[in-house]
């Protein structure tokens, strides 16, 4: 078992592609978010989250996935059909919002406004996921004071997972914009890509968190109470946000 004192889970909302023929004009943002816990605080959240799932689904083996609970009819797991019931859905989100509010974790995210990013960096476009990952990584190293953090991004499949593993090796070899290779290697105890099927509580939490952040950044009104995680609860846990193409200095991270 990893003995680092901190653990972080990473997931995205939106598509990282920059092909102008494939842009989503309704949700034209890419958000990469990370939630970080002290190890003991994660154990507390994990226990509470599993109990919540047992209460609503009769088992903690059920994997919560935003795309499926918002479109239950397209899910392969029939338990998601319970979200078609407005009372069930409202009760679930009320208890989930309450659990998030009282749990101790921090949110860091980097958002890329794809239209503006394409125009600003047309001469040197990079994979939005990799750009955002380095941004979030810098903050995770900073807030843990290089004492060691286990980072668990969600798998996306081939070839994206392979490209990310190569990018991680690059950061460990040449460093980031703000940290030397040694600081990166010492500050990050491991980066292991995990499958959603692994049923990790932290992976399901960050999956629930990133979409409301993206909607907020696009200026969309919150969904009716009982239909999503409330951004007003999440914003109190955000310790770092970077929106590109505007570049923020690490000394002004907040």
> Strands 106-113 and 238-244: what pairing?
parallel
Which domain does 12 fall in, by range?
Answer: 6-252
Question: What is the tens place of the pLDDT at every residue in 128-160?
Answer: 999 999 999 999 999 998 789 999 999 999 999
107 located within any domain: yes
246 located within any domain: yes
- Spatial distance between the Cα atoms of 168 and 183, rounded to a whole number of angstroms: 13
143 located within any domain: yes
pLDDT at 119: 86
- Spatial distance between the Cα atoms of 106 and 34, rounded to a whole number of angstroms: 8
DSSP assignment of 56-81 equals HHS-S-PPP-HHHHSSGGG-SSGGGG
Is the pLDDT at 253 greater than 60, yes or no?
no
Question: What is the tens place of the pLDDT at every residue in 68-101?
Answer: 999 999 898 999 999 999 999 999 999 999 999 9
205 located within any domain: yes
219 located within any domain: yes
pLDDT at 247: 46
1 located within any domain: no
Task: Read off the CATH number of the domain in which 51 is found.
Answer: 3.30.420.10
Task: Write out the two tokens for 140.
Answer: 């995770």
- Spatial distance between the Cα atoms of 220 and 27, rounded to a whole number of angstroms: 10
240 located within any domain: yes
DSSP state of 31: E
Is the pLDDT at 251 greater than 70, yes or no?
no
**What sign has the CA pseudo-torsion 244, 247, 253, 254?**
negative
- Other C-beta atoms lying within 10 Å of the C-beta of residue 125: 12
Question: What is the tens place of the pLDDT at every residue in 199-224?
Answer: 999 999 999 999 999 999 999 999 88
Closest CA to 154 of 30, 12, 38: 12
Number of structural domains (the chain) is 1
Please, which residues have CB within 8 angstroms of residue 110's CB and are 6 or more apart in sequence?
31, 32, 131, 132, 133, 135, 136, 241, 242, 243, 244
Q: How confident is the model at residue 21 (pLDDT cuts 50, 70, 90)?
A: low
């Amino acid at each position: 078992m990893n003995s680092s004192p901190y653990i972080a889970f990473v997931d995205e909302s939106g598509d990282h592609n920059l092909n102008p023929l494939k842009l989503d004009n309704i949700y034209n943002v890419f958000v990469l978010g990370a939630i970080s816990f002290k190890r003991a605080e994660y154990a507390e959240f994990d226990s509470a989250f599993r109990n919540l799932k047992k209460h609503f689904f009769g088992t903690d083996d059920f994997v919560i996935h935003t795309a499926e609970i918002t479109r239950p009819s397209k899910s392969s797991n029939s338990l998601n059909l319970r979200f078609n019931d407005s009372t069930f859905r409202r009760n679930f989100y009320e208890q989930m919002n309450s659990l998030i509010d009282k749990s101790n974790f921090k949110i860091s995210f980097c958002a890329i406004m794809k239209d503006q990013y394409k125009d600003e960096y047309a001469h040197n476009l990079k994979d939005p996921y990799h750009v955002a990952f380095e941004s979030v990584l810098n903050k995770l190293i900073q807030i843990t004071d290089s004492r060691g953090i286990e980072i668990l991004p969600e798998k996306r499949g081939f070839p994206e997972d392979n490209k990310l593993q190569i990018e991680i090796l690059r950061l460990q070899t040449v460093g980031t914009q703000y940290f030397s290779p040694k600081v990166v290697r010492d500050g990050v105890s491991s980066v292991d890509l995990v499958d959603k099927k692994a049923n990790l509580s932290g992976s399901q939490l960050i999956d629930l968190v990133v979409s409301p952040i993206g909607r907020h950044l696009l200026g969309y009104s919150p969904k009716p109470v009982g239909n999503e995680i409330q951004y007003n609860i999440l914003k109190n846990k955000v310790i770092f946000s970077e929106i590109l193409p505007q570049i923020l200095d690490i000394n002004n991270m907040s």
